Amino acid sequence: MRLRNRTLLAFLLSCAALIPHTTHADSAPPGGGPEGPFTGFGTPFPKKGEAIVRFKQAAFRKANANLKQRFGNRTPSKNALWRELATLIGMRISQPVSGSSFVVKGTSINSSRLRSGVLKGFVSRVEPNYKVNAFAEPSDFFYRLGLLWGLNNTGANGSSKNVDVDAIEAWGMSQGSSDLVVAVIDTGVSLNHPDLVDNIWRNPQEIPNNNLDDDKNGFIDDFFGYDFVNNAPSPNDQMFHGTHCAGIIAAKNNNNRGIAGVAPNVKIMPLRVLNARGEGDVAGVMKAIRYAIDARKRGVNLRVINASLGGGDRVAGFEELLREANQVGIVFVAAAGNESNDNDTKPTYPANFESPNVISVAAIDKFGQLASFSNFGERSVDVAAPGVGIWSTFLFGFYLPFDGTSMAAPFVSGVAALMLSERPNLTPAQVISIIKSSSKRISGLEGAMVSPGIVSAERALRSL
Ligand SMILES: [Ca+2]
Ligand SMILES: [Ca+2]
Ligand SMILES: [Ca+2]
Ligand SMILES: [Ca+2]
């Protein structure tokens, strides 16, 4: 578990009345964050194989003449005219835009066919058909309150605008595929939380509650995942930690309720390895990873494991398992840890494993500053994500904010899930490489991680 002790204390104190804790002693004062720390915004993103072409009147004359030759004086239909225009430049017209402009397909704006069309005198202008994103504001309650700074930081309350993962912009491109599965290896997940219930994975080959292992994978009634703590079917959360992580990844958006996850259409597979006190062991975590790999091999589209936990030393068998997960295309997102340590000199596991599918995530606050508790490491920690004052799902259908690299890792899991929804053929190493290279640089994080910046779902998707 990579949740701060102080937070835990605050949680216990607030338990009776469920008062959200909102003070963050380690946060920078208003205005203390970086000003304009990012580079490369607004990168235009042309749709592949499409262009907007404006035809000259000469093209219309030629097209009409061709049609007349073929069909006589009968007035051609609009569709016939568009097709003929496309034929003149050797392409397909998919739709009229306005006046003499059309979207053409099966080309790019640099294609020689289009250039020859321009040369032939048929085309006066060729421009990219850029992707545009819906900037619709989600209806989710805590978003409306302006509390989900990790998704979209508007600079309210003195925070630093755009220190966020650009989720709203990303959702115009992808909200994730409903068959993509993220395994959350944690305390379980509150299975009937209204903001999560629709996004819990269901094992299609297993009949629940019949005391049989219908899909013969060695686990009886593993319908929603599995509880490796009790060797029992139901991975229901007895603490809150896994529920909180699951919400950051895939809580339902735009349902007028609670929060929204980074990848609000993907599925969560809860694998319970930590008990009600947040404690477990490496063997339990390894069993859960084994389960995830086997599920992937049996055809479940499981591409990401979120591991907001850690402890102990290097275990060779654990690393072997991670390499096997890498071979079947699973990204393993690990929290960097909350000891304020340098992971370069004081390694922590699983974050420090060197399997190419492991990405280690540090926590930053809404000012773009490394959280005081967050581990770091110029060589061993990859990137940063929001991890202070993160509102997400809690037990009993509630919501609460928590701090921790535990909260940062799920943001990265969500981004990876969006990417793999759009480009299923990416390898874990490619996913991680894009997440790192497309992150938004923050000068204050230099030296603290390999890619000193905050992950951006929008920029990662644009980089695909
Ligand atoms: Ca943003
Ligand atoms: Ca089974
Ligand atoms: Ca069964
Ligand atoms: Ca919601």
pLDDT at residue number 110? 61
Q: How far is ligand 1, taken at its centre, from the CA of residue 169, in Å?
A: 7
Residues 6 or more apart whose CB falls under 8 angstroms from that of 438 comprise 455, 456, 459, 460, 462, 463
Strand pairing partners for 363?
A: 385
pLDDT at residue number 167? 97
With contact defined as beta carbons under 8 Å apart, do 30 and 158 qualify?
A: yes
Q: How far is ligand 1, taken at its centre, from the CA of residue 166, in Å?
A: 4
* Kind and range of the H or E run holding 41: none
Q: How far is ligand 4, taken at its centre, from the CA of residue 267, in Å?
A: 14
Cis peptide before 34 (omega within 30 of 0): no
Q: How far is ligand 3, taken at its centre, from the CA of residue 400, in Å?
A: 34
With contact defined as beta carbons under 8 Å apart, do 272 and 235 qualify?
A: yes
pLDDT at residue number 33? 32
Choose among 258, 254, 196, 270: nearest CA to 391.
258
Is 241 a residue of the active site?
Answer: yes
pLDDT at residue number 34? 32
Q: What is the dihedral of CA 358, 445, 456, 461, to 10 degrees?
A: -60
d(CA 361, CA 179): 25
Selecting among 186, 221, 222, 237, the annotated active-site residue is 186
pLDDT at residue number 118? 67
For 23-153, where are the alpha helices, taking DSSP H only? 57-71, 78-88, 112-119, 141-144
Residue 47's φ and ψ, nearest 5 degrees, are -70, 130
pLDDT at residue number 126? 80
| Ligand found nearest the CA of 399 | 4
Q: How far is ligand 4, taken at its centre, from the CA of residue 258, in Å?
A: 5
pLDDT at residue number 109? 59
Helices 316-327, 282-297: crossing angle, 10 deg rounding: 20
Q: How far is ligand 4, taken at its centre, from the CA of residue 257, in Å?
A: 4
Q: b or e along 123-155 (b: 16 or more beta carbons within 10 Å of the residue's beta carbon)?
A: beebebbeeebeeeebebbbbeeebbbbbbbee
| Ligand found nearest the CA of 144 | 4
Is 406 a residue of the active site?
Answer: yes
d(CA 44, CA 365): 29
pLDDT at residue number 105? 79
Q: How far is ligand 4, taken at its centre, from the CA of residue 238, in Å?
A: 22
pLDDT at residue number 457? 98
Q: For residue 454, what are its two tokens?
A: 């905050």
| Ligand found nearest the CA of 254 | 4
With contact defined as beta carbons under 8 Å apart, do 348 and 360 qualify?
A: no
Is 186 a residue of the active site?
Answer: yes
pLDDT at residue number 249? 98
Residues 420-444: tens digit of each pLDDT: 999 999 999 999 999 999 999 999 9
Selecting among 195, 234, 237, 241, the annotated active-site residue is 241
Q: How far is ligand 3, taken at its centre, from the CA of residue 227, in Å?
A: 14
Low-confidence residues of the chain: pLDDT under 50: 8-43
| Ligand found nearest the CA of 218 | 2
Residue 59's φ and ψ, nearest 5 degrees, are -65, -45
Q: How far is ligand 3, taken at its centre, from the CA of residue 203, in Å?
A: 10
Residues 6 or more apart whose CB falls under 8 angstroms from that of 231 comprise none
Whole-Å CA distances, 215 to 80, 138, 219, 220, 320: 54, 39, 8, 9, 26
d(CA 398, CA 247): 11
| Ligand found nearest the CA of 215 | 2
pTM of the shown model: 0.78
Choose among 119, 117, 419, 139: nearest CA to 251.
139
Choose among 463, 406, 403, 414: nearest CA to 439.
463
d(CA 21, CA 419): 33
| Ligand found nearest the CA of 196 | 4
Domains within the chain, CATH numbers bracketed: 6-25+134-462 (3.40.50.200), 48-129 (3.30.70)
Q: How far is ligand 3, taken at its centre, from the CA of residue 183, in Å?
A: 20
Selecting among 111, 174, 406, 439, the annotated active-site residue is 406
Residue 397 per-residue DSSP state:
G
Q: How far is ligand 2, taken at its centre, from the CA of residue 447, in Å?
A: 46
